[in-house]
A and B are shown apart, each in its own frame.
Chain A
Amino acid sequence: MQRFRFWLICLLLAAAAPLHAQERVNVVASFSILGDFVKNVGGDRVDVTTLVGRNGDVHVYDPAPSDAKTIAGAKLLVINGLGLEGWLPRLLQSSGSKAPIITATRGIAPLKIGSDADPHAWQSVANAKIYVANISDALVVADPADAEVFRANAQAYLARLDALDREVREAVAKIPPSRRKVISTHDAFGYFAAAYGIEFVAPLGVSTESEASARDIAGIITEIKREKIPAVFLENISDPRLIRRISAETGARIGGTLYSDSLTGEKGDAPTYIELVRHNIKALTGALAD
């Protein structure tokens, strides 16, 4: 019995040892854009895992058992909050995780859609800076030894975001004010619209789950014709045929794809948050220019 206990302890130590040897902090982010922020702040001091991967739809995600395992092994869990991850509470409960949870949108005044908060706050670069600051603070608490690294990384990344913000504003300024209006299938761009003054009209509700009625589509077609909206945009998640139909019926130009809720793969148009915003603003200026 003694002997057995000895081996058992040895085994436990052996299992626990790698965690100590490798000092990287295990961070789990709920979706790919948050994962990108964490990677930029954490650098090589953190291991980031995202629950909803690239190109995945975070609104309708169906967690797998492996996700519970991922969460259980995390030192820190980064979520967006504002009701985006509706599937998360049950997953947390079943994983039995004790990791602190950081809500990256803390301190952002949410826009409202109906009576609910609009969760897509990262679409404004100014908000992205708040995300980064929150994540940096949380990482410092989770791993005080690397605090300096995290602060320096965050400073560098915030400077790049500032430059990005200026870039977007300059690009929008070149579009004639009367043409700053587009249709997109997914009204994920509320914060973008509020920050940069481009109006988005959407045929579906705030969630990609709801189905459009004939009344909605007719309303949009009438709206495009009345307001002379120059462009409609496809989304990387919703049904593109609906947009094509609206475009065929109104003569509005079909813009490229706008990425809203997820990054693309490494070879796609939007492998990082900064590239995502750049891609979106390029697509918008391209379609809205005369």
Chain B
Amino acid sequence: MIYDALIAPFTEFEFMRRALAAVIALALGGAPIGVFLMLRRMSLVGDAMAHAILPGAAIGFLLSGLNLFAMTTGGLIAGFTVAILAGMVSRSTGLKEDASLATFYLVSLALGVTIVSIKGTNIDLLHVLFGNILAMDDPTLLVIASNATITLLVLAVIYRPLVIESVDPLFLRTVSRAGAPSHLAFLALVVINLVNGFQALGTLLAVGLMILPAGIARFWSRDITGMICIAVASAILSGYAGLVLSFETKVPSGPAIILTAAVLYVGSVLFGSVGGLFRQMFPGRHLEA
């Protein structure tokens, strides 16, 4: 009975196994990024980026028609441009990162709409670009997996400056010059993860699996390493549970995964050991022990 519900879908259908592999890879790459985004108060950057890639995708479409590779490459370039420009402006002037990002993504979106209208077509380019977790083919799986690998490796390299800068940027500036390069490398990772996530899984899932687990982890751990581990674990758990939910009920898979993560989030807000509502109401026992 439990076997039928929890394991049989994956042994019986290959597409479920592939979806699970994709979710795990996405969790490994996306959740740590999400934690840093949250610490830097950039949690909404994912949605902004979903719009920012439009001109690149549109140019790719103009050059080679409905070619996924060309459109994704274009999207990556547009995303990089927006992220790097926004990052540079916020580092070299007083403008906050979210404000400069908002400016650049709106400009990018306007540019994209203009380019699309040149071709005079009403195909929803982003709709074409955004994939579905249930339709994992070999190339897409490979892209997500290598993406997760690159993300983890680069994060390992820039981990120290990134952590210090997220917590105390002034201190980092006094002891090292690694701040700017690591910040820009981080923004590049954000873009790669998001664009590949969009292409493979659709906006909701790519952004959701990045941000929600970070929110969950915040309620269970105080140090960044702990947060990252919990974020990855909860992303994998909600991916698995969401797929099972989508298999058992008829909820589409993307929303099912995100809703599962949302349930975990609500649980964490209520019962989390770090700043959860119950802990705040009954702090005494914790201190006595």
Contacts and interface: CB of A to CB of B under 8 A. Distances in A.
Interface of A: 52-53, 55-57, 60-62, 210-218, 221, 239, 241-242, 244-246, 248-249
B124 interface: yes
B120 interface: yes
Contacts of B122: 52-53, 56-57, 61-62
B247 A212 contact: no
Contacts of A60: 124, 127
B194 to A, nearest CB: 19
Q: Which of B120, B243, B247 has the most CB atoms of chain A within a 10 A radius of its CB? A: B247
Given A214-B243, A215-B246, A221-B13, A239 B121 contact: no
Interface residues of B, number: 33
B140 interface: yes
B83 interface: no
Given A218-B247, A241-B140, A212 B123 contact: no
Contact of A242 (B134, B246, B248): B134
A130 B256 CA distance: 44
20 contacts: A55-B123, A57-B122, A60-B124, A60-B127, A62-B122, A210-B252, A211-B132, A212-B134, A213-B247, A214-B15, A214-B243, A215-B246, A215-B247, A216-B250, A218-B15, A239-B132, A241-B132, A244-B137, A246-B15, A248-B137
Q: Which of B122, B140, B249, B252 has the most CB atoms of chain A within a 10 A radius of its CB? A: B122
B137 A241 contact: yes
Contact of B15 (A55, A221, A239): A221
B254 A211 contact: yes
Contacts of A213: 246-247, 249-253, 256
Contact of A214 (B121, B131, B140, B246): B246
Given A62-B122, A217-B13, 20 more contacts: A56-B121, A56-B122, A211-B252, A211-B253, A211-B255, A212-B132, A213-B250, A214-B134, A215-B247, A218-B9, A218-B247, A221-B13, A239-B131, A242-B132, A242-B134, A245-B18, A245-B136, A245-B137, A249-B13, A249-B15
Nearest 8 A/B pairs, CB to CB: A241-B135, A211-B252, A242-B135, A214-B246, A214-B247, A56-B122, A213-B250, A213-B246
Given A56-B121, A245-B15, A215 B250 contact: yes
Contacts of B255: 211
B14 interface: yes
Contacts of B254: 211
